[in-house]
Amino acid sequence: MSTATSTQWHLVRRPVGEPTPDDVARVEATLDELGPDEVRVANAFLSVDPYMRGRMDDKPSYVPPFRLDEAMTGAAVGHVVESTSDALPVGTMVTHQYGWRDVAQGPAARFTAVEELDGVSLSAYLGVLGLTGLTAYTGLVRIAEMKEGDAVFVSGAAGAVGSMVGQIARLRGASRVIGSAGSAEKIALLTDRYGFDAAFDYHDGDIRGQLKAAAPDGIDVYFDNVGGEHLSAALHRLKRFGRIAVCGAISAYNSTGEPEGITGMTNVVRNSLRIEGFTMGDHWDLGADFQAEMRPWLENGDVVFDETILDGVDNAFDAFTRMMRGENVGKMVVRVTEPS
Amino acid sequence: MSTATSTQWHLVRRPVGEPTPDDVARVEATLDELGPDEVRVANAFLSVDPYMRGRMDDKPSYVPPFRLDEAMTGAAVGHVVESTSDALPVGTMVTHQYGWRDVAQGPAARFTAVEELDGVSLSAYLGVLGLTGLTAYTGLVRIAEMKEGDAVFVSGAAGAVGSMVGQIARLRGASRVIGSAGSAEKIALLTDRYGFDAAFDYHDGDIRGQLKAAAPDGIDVYFDNVGGEHLSAALHRLKRFGRIAVCGAISAYNSTGEPEGITGMTNVVRNSLRIEGFTMGDHWDLGADFQAEMRPWLENGDVVFDETILDGVDNAFDAFTRMMRGENVGKMVVRVTEPS
């Protein structure tokens, strides 16, 4: 492995609007020999997530921008193939942030050993047991302070985070769980597989009217993955003391102009509503509580999860853009072909 | 006093847009003789407040709508002129909610005895020591959780609540206090009399640009009395973990159509912002803390307050509409001519 290489994705230009293949480059990098207390990891799965779009812009945000002409980063899981670390010997399964590449390398302290669970794909660590699941849990439990008996609405409900929000809400005693998604197939998935009580297709338009029909008695909590018209609709539907956890605004991420204005904000006073944005960097402390609650649900089959898997590190950028267009069901991951 | 009368304002029609004199009627009512444990009060001052506009509409809100063809209600202060209550003998100063009339009458339990403070007008109980001051305190301290060193922006800053917000923020150690108001005179008042560090006139337009110039390093707290363009501007100017206490949306109260959309909502995620609406009905428990902090400030002259006083119960509706148009400086009150 002394002349090992890594196929990596670099950002070469700041995207304007939707990222295009010209904004990135696939680069073959030669890896240095390991220094002391380092590991080399053959990635099994790479994560692509909406927040990465923000990192492609050169503006202040909750995570620093990607630098141009360097490998992009993100969550990944794999096994150690070479090691100078006693803590992480060859063969250890690890999660880490050196994604967007097939082979990762760095200080052992940057990698976290994980257990492989029986019958659960390693990719779960990028989703239901990773950032995705913890994001759903944080927004619902800490930010929106969901209580038993609450009616909960989540947008982008067939997505990785959304499908977890709906299931956690149900398992924590929601009186009604309502989801929106972007196709008839996804809508069916919400009610048939994830246990939502009601679901609607936002491509059918009149989001406000559809939400009213799905939640005739109003909602207590809105988990917002989308922003825009969904947020306006929720503001009109929230009951007194309703809470909105704002996790994302995917409708605006690729927007080049000023996003459409939000209506219904006068309800914030009228109904004593709370709207709160959050990003996971401030909530890692919830991880232990989350794992303690989520593992039994997974073991008991109370929580199901889906993945859309694209094969090959060469398809990582394609996976990202497809995820941004909403073509995934559940967590979008890239399965890395075993390096030769 | 057995054939006592009361001049009262009734709502006779639900206003569409800005209330007009045709929506109300001044009625001479004959008062019944007092029953057991009742008082009759000669009101000295009546309060007119923005929330009353909401009560004129027949739609669900945090306070029930005014009923048609009945006397409207609101805060008032006066002295007992007839009494069958041992607790409230003739001459007692009381605050109560039987406003919009010169003579009030009802169960003693609905009236609260207050002390007359040396050199402070009784009308202070409708303002700085009443709902107005407590509203400012609640929004700033409990909802926005203002901390020492925060930069604080308040809209409608020359109004009754706004001028208190700015002064409480200063006295609680704000690093910078910025206010907006609707005339050059009011702007001068903010910096010269109320101790704001910077102020701008929203009638000059470009609220976002003016706020940026006034708060070049950003803001931590926004106390929103106005909504609309002010709210959008604040969303663009808030620093990470910034908080907005939404107290009012006076820009939308008289609107008959859908209010203008709010821009900048994508900053809620980007900067982990919190927006929270509140109404005083849920926060009376803060009253004791508030009084304990405000009385010394008043006694020491650390807090100043202004009133716009209109004389005569006959002018109560005029006072209300002038207040809604922003023609008042400080708290708008009606001074009732002593009944004969």
In a domain, B291, yes or no: no
Q: Which of B62, B240, B273 sits opposite A270 (nearest CB)?
A: B62
**Residue B166 maps to a domain:** yes
* pLDDT band with cut points at 50, 70 and 90 for residue A251: low
Residues of A with CB below 8 A from B262's CB?
Answer: 261-263, 265
Q: For residue A2, what pLDDT is reported?
A: 53
Q: Are the beta carbons of A158 and A199 closer than 8 angstroms? A: no
CA dist B191 and A158 (Å) reads 53
B138 assigned to some structural domain: yes
Is B159 in the same domain as B269?
Answer: yes
Q: Which of B262, B266, B279 sits opposite A265 (nearest CB)?
A: B262
Alpha-carbon dihedral B181, B185, B189, B191, rounded to 10 degrees: 70
Query: A–B: how many Cβ contacts below 8 A?
Result: 104
- In degrees, rounded to 5, the angle at the alpha carbon of residue B231 between the alpha carbons of residues B228 and B234 is 150
| A94-127 per-position pLDDT tens digit | 999 999 999 999 999 999 998 887 777 889 889 8
Take residue A60 and report the two structure tokens written for it.
């202040």
Computed over every residue of chain A, the mean pLDDT equals: 91
Q: Using CA atoms, how far apart are residues B270 and B268, in angstroms rounded to an integer? A: 6
Alpha-carbon distance B168 to B221, whole Å?
Answer: 13
A265/B269 CB distance under 8 A = no
- Within 8 A by CB and 6+ apart from B190, the residues are B157, B158, B163, B166, B179, B181, B196, B199
pLDDT in tens, B221-240: 999 999 999 999 999 999 99
| Look-up of token digits 């040396």 | B118
A-chain residue closest to B258, CA distance? A263
C-alpha dist (Å) from residue B121 to A2, A66, B111, B113, B332: 87, 62, 19, 15, 14
The whole domain housing B102 covers 5-127+306-335
CATH of the domain at B200: 3.40.50.720
Can you name the residues that pair with A10 across neighbouring β-strands?
A25, A71
Cβ atoms of A100 and A336 within 8 Å: the answer is no
Q: Report how far residue B134's alpha carbon sits from residue B124's, in angstroms, rounded to the nearest whole number.
A: 12
pLDDT level of residue B1 (50, 70, 90 thresholds): very low
Q: How far is B127 from chain A (nearest CA, A)?
A: 21
The residue out of B282, B297, B320 marking a domain boundary is B282
CA B105, CA B92: separation in Å to the nearest integer? 14
- Is residue B289, in this structure, part of any structural domain at all? no
**Same domain, yes or no: A116 and A12:** yes
Residue A68: predicted pLDDT = 95
Alpha helix locations (H) across A183-286? Answer: 184-192, 207-214, 228-237, 250-253, 267-270
Using the predicted structure, report yes or no on whether residue B199 has a pLDDT greater than 80.
yes
Is A252 in contact with A226 (CB distance < 8 Å)?
no
Higher per-residue confidence, B257 vs B196: B196
**The pairing of beta strand A331-335 with beta strand B5-11:** unpaired
Between CA A318 and CA A24 the distance in angstroms is 11
**In a shared domain, residues B112 and B247:** no
> Which tens digits make up the pLDDT trace of B202-225?
999 999 999 999 999 999 999 999
Same domain, A143 and A121: no
Q: Smallest Cβ distance to A269: which of B249, B268, B272? A: B249
Nearest to B161 by CA among B294, B50, B298: B50
The mean per-residue pLDDT over the stretch B248-254 comes to: 61
User: Is the same domain home to B136 and B273?
Assistant: yes
Q: How confident is the model at residue A59 (pLDDT cuts 50, 70, 90)?
A: confident
* Residue at B188 is within a domain: yes
Contact A335, A77 (CB under 8 A): no
Give A-chain residues touching B217 at CB under 8 angstroms: none
pLDDT in tens, B90-123: 999 999 999 999 999 999 999 999 888 777 788 9
Decide: B143 and B278 in contact? Cβ < 8 Å: yes
* Shared-domain flag, residues A120 and A152: no
Check B274 against A275: CB less than 8 A apart: yes
Question: Across the interface, do B62 and A260 touch by the CB < 8 Å criterion?
Answer: no
Mean pLDDT of B324-339: 83
> Are residue A51 and residue A148 in the same domain, yes or no?
no
Helix axes B207-214, B228-237, angle to 10 degrees: 40
Average pLDDT over residues A36-40: 97
The gap between the terminal CA atoms of chain B, to the nearest Å, is 10
Predicted pLDDT at B66: 95
Q: Chain A partners of B61 at a C-beta cutoff of 8 Å?
A: 270
- The nearest alpha carbon in chain A to B240 belongs to A62
Residues of chain B contacting residue A271, judged by C-beta atoms under 8 Å apart: 62, 277
Q: What is the pLDDT of residues A256-307, one digit of tens each?
A: 565 678 999 989 998 999 999 999 889 989 988 998 899 889 888 899 998 8
- Tens digits of residue pLDDT in B259-300: 678 999 989 998 999 999 999 889 989 988 998 899 888 888
Q: Do A108 and A249 lie in a common domain?
A: no
What CATH number is attached to the domain comprising B74?
Answer: 3.90.180.10
Q: How far apart are CA B314 and CA B70, in angstroms?
A: 16
In-domain check, residue A296: no
Same domain, yes or no, for A210 and A321? no
Q: Evaluate whether residue B250 is within a structural domain.
A: yes
Pair B110, B96: CB distance under 8 Å = yes
Q: B249 to chain A, minimum CA–CA distance in Å? A: 6
What would the two tokens of residue A114 be? Answer: 């994980």
The count of structural domains within chain B is: 2
| pLDDT, position A339 | 45
* A259/B282 touch (CB, cutoff 8 Å), yes or no: no
Same domain, residue pair A154 and A173: yes
User: Among B227, B232, B271, whose Cβ lies nearest the Cβ of A266?
Assistant: B227
CB-CB under 8 Å, A232 with B270: no
Q: Do B249 and A258 touch (CB under 8 A)?
A: no
Pair of tokens at residue B300: 């020491």
Same domain, B277 and B175: yes
Higher pLDDT: B329 or A251? It is B329
Residues B193 and B216 placed together within one structural domain of the fold? yes
